[in-house]
Chain A
Amino acid sequence: MTASTLKMTSSEAKVKRRKMTPMERRRELLGLLFISPWLIGFLLWTIYPLGSSLYYSLTRYDLLRPATFIGLSNFQEIFGRDQVFRTVMGNTLYYVGLGGPLSVIAAFLLAFLLNMKIKARSVFRAIFFFPAIVPAVVIAMVWQFLLNTQYGAINSTLSALGLPVIRFLSDPKLAKPSIILINMWASGTAMVIFLATLQDVPREYYEAAIVDGANAWHKFWYITIPMCTPIILYNLVMALIWGFQDFTLPWLLTAGGPNQSTEFYAVHLYRNAFSFLRMGKACALAWILFIIIVVFTLILFRTSGKWVYYGGGED
């Protein structure tokens, strides 16, 4: 989708490599003028911060005193002495590696269910989608109460029945799965995207399959899934990018605890920057995060050639 747009426009640009007429120069200026808000913003809020954070990552800076250059010490601390970083990376990979695919699968199955012939589809669609647009703060408050060990709906039911309570957010083993579960509940955006894709799968494919004697499972496995692979890839990439950056929900639900079991990357970064005022180390962490995200995205795209099916080159 984006790639084809780019290819088209860059070849379009190549055709016109000759001297510009005054008219063309005017258009060039006009175009630049129109996009200048973005261009200026890009330089101010993306390029300059990226550059300056590269510099700050080589300094010790607490906002109060001027930054002092300390070379690669921040990186040495992160990769060497800092035991916490290993825990953080482990937590984050667990969260992204398990939570990302699980929320994509949940979204896909919900979309599949909604795409069947059902009554009141728009009502169910609304119910499954709604959590995705509720403020994260509200989600955190509600789930924290709902999963509360003493007074939450689940545990007070269990204890009234004489069953042992489940320490969802206060057991280091359960905290990560609990947050992943909440994320699955709120994966409505991916679901809506899947639903739009499912509705675009041409009926003829299913008809042809039936003629060939396919059953429901064959249709699902050989038509529905392959037709959705580009969007599965898209949603996986999005889940990956968001997972590495997810801050609000873990921060408000568990604030890194219990026993650092939910100290995810973004939480750790925030803590270094705004609790410890270690801006230099935070910038180093941010750059490492950037590289990790780029590498993982590239890996995902690399493998995609093996499993993503791009239909007969439409648009």
Chain B
Amino acid sequence: MSVFTYAEPQSRRKKTAFQRFQEFVKYAILLILGTSYLVPFYWMSSSALKNDAQVYTAPPVWVPIPTHWNNLWDAWKLYNFNLYLFNTLFKYAIPVTVGTVLSSAIVAYGFGRIRWRMRGLLFAVCLSTMMVPFQVTMVPLFIIFKHFGWINTYWPLIVPAFFGNPYFIFMLRQFFRSIPEELSDAARIDGASELDILFRVIMPLARPALTVVGLFAFMGAWNDFLGPYIYLNKPEQYTLAVGVEALRRTMNAIGNKQLAYPYLMAVSTIVTLPILIAFFFAQRTFIEGIALTGLKG
């Protein structure tokens, strides 16, 4: 598979000096790059455990001893991050995930598994909307939602998710089309409606693809900054992403700079942790999902 070493099977038995040098260079590059990619994360999590004396010093402290583990909990509690976590999960990420998966699956079924005349044309339109930049509709949508009286509510963030997302519609359509038509026909003979077929036949078979969609939709909401930043202006409504920024603002604004950096890094670490855990357990799903949406989108 590899470009450099493939088709040279004898290299497995004894390596020439040049080949050994090549190997060395390869791993040296990998290790240097890998380490430098990790430094920001190490800096974040180690700084979260420092006190001010360990922050404001040169050269930098890489291993904070004594280790202030209590920073994690103190920062979280002091700034109401429990509430932000609740908001992010139950008012934003979970509704958006449910809405996106359901609506995208239904639309993908209409585009992928029902034969009708206009679907080619409408599917082309659907795909082309992926090209419309968010920034272009951002301001008029804000004006619309303001007329609805939806500013400072979660509705502007949740409701659009229930109308399908072109990326995920495309991805699910591809997946649905790979499921043999005979399965649907058998269900039809048994008198199942199209909706029955979608929910009882197709969706159970498409669980891997639906998982990818759900995961990405959830992460999109968890990571989203601009949406909540525009629509939610009351501190009790903040999501985690906006909460982190708000924490920085308070610490910069007042003379309350005590433990500013450790606390900021502590909440950043905690907010990143679920993503890390999800990634750890579902690396394949992530990678394959990205390769799929990316390649086929």
Q: Please report A residues at the B interface, Cβ cutoff 8 Å.
A: 1-2, 5-6, 9-10, 12-13, 16, 20, 24, 27-28, 30-35, 37-42, 44-46, 48-50, 52-53, 56, 61, 63, 110, 112-113, 115-118, 122, 124-131, 133-139, 141-143, 145-146, 150-153, 156-157, 159-161, 185, 189-190, 192-193, 195-197, 199, 203, 206-207, 210, 216, 219-220, 224, 231, 234, 241, 244-245, 247-248, 252, 265-266, 269, 273-274, 279, 282-283, 286-287, 289-290, 293-294, 297
Q: Which residues of B contact A61 (CB under 8 A)?
A: 143
Bound complex: CA A134 to CA B125 (Å): 32
Q: Which residues of B contact A156 (CB under 8 A)?
A: 57-60
Q: Digit string of B67-97 for contact with A (CB within 8 Å is 1, else 0)? A: 0000000000000000000000000000000
On whether the beta carbons of B164 and A37 are closer than 8 Å, the reply is: yes
Which of B37, B43, B242 has the most chain A CB within a 10 Å cutoff? B37
On whether the beta carbons of B133 and A245 are closer than 8 Å, the reply is: yes
Which of B5, B136, B144, B297 has the most chain A CB within a 10 Å cutoff? B136
Residue of A nearest to B292 (CB): A196
Q: Which chain B residues numbered 82 to 125 have a C-beta less than 8 Å away from chain A?
A: 103, 106-107, 109-111, 114-125
A153-B39, A199-B1, A203-B1 given; A192·B244 CB < 8 A:
no
Known: A30-B110, A34-B194, A130-B37. 17 other contacts (CB 8 A): A6-B123, A13-B120, A20-B117, A30-B114, A31-B114, A34-B110, A50-B140, A134-B223, A137-B242, A138-B272, A142-B44, A160-B59, A193-B295, A196-B294, A274-B230, A293-B133, A294-B131
- Selected from B30, B124, B169, B286, the residue in CB contact (under 8 A) with A38 is B169
- Selected from A34, A160, A199, A269, the residue in CB contact (under 8 A) with B58 is A160
On whether the beta carbons of B279 and A145 are closer than 8 Å, the reply is: no
Bound complex: CA A134 to CA B225 (Å): 12
CB distance from B9 to the nearest CB of A (A): 12
On whether the beta carbons of A206 and B6 are closer than 8 Å, the reply is: yes
Bound complex: CA A266 to CA B222 (Å): 21
18 contacts between A and B (CB under 8 A): A13-B117, A31-B116, A34-B107, A34-B110, A50-B132, A52-B144, A63-B146, A116-B5, A117-B5, A127-B34, A131-B37, A135-B225, A137-B242, A137-B271, A142-B268, A146-B40, A153-B60, A293-B131
- Selected from A46, A49, A189, A266, the residue in CB contact (under 8 A) with B294 is A189
- Selected from A30, A141, A216, the residue in CB contact (under 8 A) with B4 is A216
Q: Which residues of B contact A138 (CB under 8 A)?
A: 44, 244, 268, 271-272
Instruction: Answer yes or no: B7 CB below 8 A from chain A CBs.
Output: yes
Q: Which residues of B contact A16 (CB under 8 A)?
A: 117
- Selected from B116, B139, B223, the residue in CB contact (under 8 A) with A56 is B139
Instruction: Answer yes or no: B258 CB below 8 A from chain A CBs.
Output: no
Instruction: Answer yes or no: B213 CB below 8 A from chain A CBs.
Output: no
Instruction: Answer yes or no: B209 CB below 8 A from chain A CBs.
Output: no
- Selected from B43, B106, B129, B143, the residue in CB contact (under 8 A) with A46 is B129
Bound complex: CA A146 to CA B123 (Å): 46
Q: Secondary structure of the A side of the interface? A: helix
Instruction: Answer yes or no: B137 CB below 8 A from chain A CBs.
Output: yes
- Selected from A45, A157, A266, the residue in CB contact (under 8 A) with B160 is A45
A49-B137, A136-B223 given; A110·B290 CB < 8 A:
no
- Selected from A185, A189, A197, A252, the residue in CB contact (under 8 A) with B37 is A185
Instruction: Answer yes or no: B207 CB below 8 A from chain A CBs.
Output: no
Residue of B nearest to A131 (CB): B37
Q: Please report B residues at the A interface, Cβ cutoff 8 Å.
A: 1-7, 26-27, 29-30, 33-34, 37-41, 43-44, 47, 55-60, 103, 106-107, 109-111, 114-127, 129, 131-144, 146, 160, 162-164, 166, 169, 194, 219, 222-223, 225-226, 230, 240-242, 244-245, 248, 261, 264-265, 268, 271-272, 275-276, 279, 283, 286-287, 290-291, 294-297
Q: Which residues of A contact B111 (CB under 8 A)?
A: 34-35
Q: Which residues of B contact A282 (CB under 8 A)?
A: 139
- Selected from A50, A118, A131, the residue in CB contact (under 8 A) with B26 is A118
On whether the beta carbons of A141 and B194 are closer than 8 Å, the reply is: no
Q: Which residues of A contact B56 (CB under 8 A)?
A: 150-151
- Selected from A12, A32, A153, A193, the residue in CB contact (under 8 A) with B43 is A153
On whether the beta carbons of B37 and A128 are closer than 8 Å, the reply is: yes
Bound complex: CA A118 to CA B28 (Å): 12
On whether the beta carbons of B139 and A286 are closer than 8 Å, the reply is: yes
On whether the beta carbons of A10 and B294 are closer than 8 Å, the reply is: no
Bound complex: CA A160 to CA B1 (Å): 46
Q: Which residues of B contact A127 (CB under 8 A)?
A: 34, 37-38
- Selected from A35, A46, A110, A287, the residue in CB contact (under 8 A) with B119 is A35
On whether the beta carbons of A193 and B291 are closer than 8 Å, the reply is: yes
On whether the beta carbons of B163 and A210 are closer than 8 Å, the reply is: no
CB distance from A4 to the nearest CB of B (A): 11
Q: Which residues of B contact A133 (CB under 8 A)?
A: 219, 223, 275, 279, 286
On whether the beta carbons of B2 and A117 are closer than 8 Å, the reply is: yes
On whether the beta carbons of A126 and B117 are closer than 8 Å, the reply is: no
On whether the beta carbons of A287 and B136 are closer than 8 Å, the reply is: yes
Residue of B nearest to A248 (CB): B225
